[in-house]
Amino acid sequence: MTSHSIVIHAGTLLANAGEAPKTKQSLLIEGGRIKEVSSGFVAPPQDAKLVDLSDKFVLPGLIDCHVHLTGQFDRGYRMRMVEDSDPKIGFNAAHNASLTLAAGFTTVRDVGALGNPDVIFALRAAIAEKKVAGPRVLCVGDILSPTGGHGQTYGYRHDVCACVQSTSGICDGIDECRRAVRRQVSQGADAIKFVATGGVLSDIKAGLDQQFTTDEIRTIIETAHNLGRRVAAHAHGAAGINAALEAGVDSIEHGSFMDDRSIELFLAKGAFHVPTIIAGVTASEMAEREGELPPAMAEKARIVGKKIKEALSRSHKAGVTIAFGTDMGVGPHGQNAREFGLLVEAGMSPREAIHAATINAAKLLNISDEAGTIAAGKTADVIAVDSSPLENVAVLERVSFVMSRGDVFRSAN
């Protein structure tokens, strides 16, 4: 931690993923912000600290638009749901946040808290106040779900479910949907997330198709927009994807079964696709390991695993704007950058994948004036790797330097 100014010498700097990288650049950082970007290795002013990244590739801090910091899905998950107190979940979430920051992700959007949503709101505040290390957090509070929908807890006695589940996001009918959005906003939600369709990791045989009615979807989106909040729709089946897009949703998360109509709507409305391929891959691998997933989940995981990557190939080829998201909490926190390799396998160039995790993600999260590029006036969220990710995107899995809001969190030396 320091309030002194810092000068970074960047061997190669990709300040903006939409432009070519430049060699030998200097960044002047003051008060947690980028003050100036200049050519050549500028000598630090008196009292300033020099950070020598002259043999590194430097780029903006990465942004993950889809994580669940309060949970980690694995074999022990179902027991922890009934064992862990809110404070325990909070400490776990703080640990997950620090793993995520160490991996070079300086901003995340948490799209659904496990249990009590106060935990993620408290973590967001503790990180903002620099009491706990972690990426900048934007969060949605509770996921909005109809009764029996993907956002509900299953698999225990009903009275036990009622104990572990926060019910503030369960809503049926237009009035309750409107109230549920307003309740999340009143509790501090930065954005709203709802389940337009069924999902893989809910232990119920309810398919992957539309769950809220079209009227309910319209109400959720309209109410959220009136309160100045962006809306993310969890959606696999085409009917749910299309109903959400028609109603003006800002992003479709997953998008596994998108069809021709979905592509038309994405383009016409300017909505983002957040593909989360790594979550589909992780869940389908778990489905192959005997006993790891209950039958209702395993059946859905096998179907979605393949589809989710095809969906990204299709949306990317058609020119849909892609924003980076991993659904970590399904996969292990801190391994977010594995998504880059999958995006490239599905047809994106490394530069496009980095664009999705910086400029596009900042746009979707409505924080372009703070993050997404390295430029004068923006927050000093800066990372470095040992070689060019434009040649081999997998180097982003081994980040060697992380600066978050002007503080060096992970040092290169």
Q: How far is the CB of 197 from Zn ion (least distance, A)?
A: 13
Positions 312 through 331 that interact with Zn ion (CB under 5 A): 327
Contact 161, 153 (CB under 8 A): yes
E strands within 31-169?
A: 33-39, 49-60, 62-67, 105-110, 136-139
Quote the CA–CA distance of 182 and 141 in Å, as a whole number: 11
Q: Based on CB atoms, which residue is closest to Zn ion, 84 or 327?
A: 327
Q: Does residue 110 bind Zn ion (CB under 5 A)?
A: no
- 57 vs 73 by CB, closer to Zn ion: 73
User: 124 vs 254, which CB is nearer to Zn ion?
Assistant: 254
Residue 9 or residue 66: which is nearer to Zn ion going by CB? Answer: 66
What whole-number distance in Å separates Cα of residue 138 and Cα of residue 367? Answer: 10
Check if the beta carbon of residue 335 is closer than 8 Å to that of residue 325: no
Q: What is the spatial distance between Cα 191 and Cα 229, in angstroms, rounded to a whole number?
A: 5
Place of tokens 């769950």: 211
Smallest distance, Å, CB 67 to Zn ion? 8
Q: Which CB atom, from 9 or from 234, has the smaller least distance to Zn ion?
A: 234
Cβ-closest position to Zn ion: 327
Neighbours of 200 (CB within 10 A): 29
CB of 193 to Zn ion, least distance (A): 8
Closest contact distance (angstroms) between CB of 109 and Zn ion is: 10
Handedness of CA 253, 337, 84, 285 (dihedral sign): positive
Cβ proximity to Zn ion: between 44 and 117 the closer is 117
Rounded Cα–Cα distance for residues 113 and 111 (Å): 7
Backbone angles phi, psi at 109, to 5 degrees: -110, 120
Q: How far is the CB of 329 from Zn ion (least distance, A)?
A: 7
CA-based Rg of the chain, rounded to a whole angstrom? Answer: 21
Residue 112 or residue 134: which is nearer to Zn ion going by CB? 112
277-288 helix and 295-318 helix, angle to the nearest 10 degrees = 150
Binding mask 271-310 for Zn ion (x = CB under 5 A): ----------------------------------------
* Residue 12 parent element (H or E): strand 6-13
CB 304 to Zn ion: min, Å: 12
CB 145, min distance to Zn ion, A:
12
- Footprint of Zn ion (CB under 5 A): 327
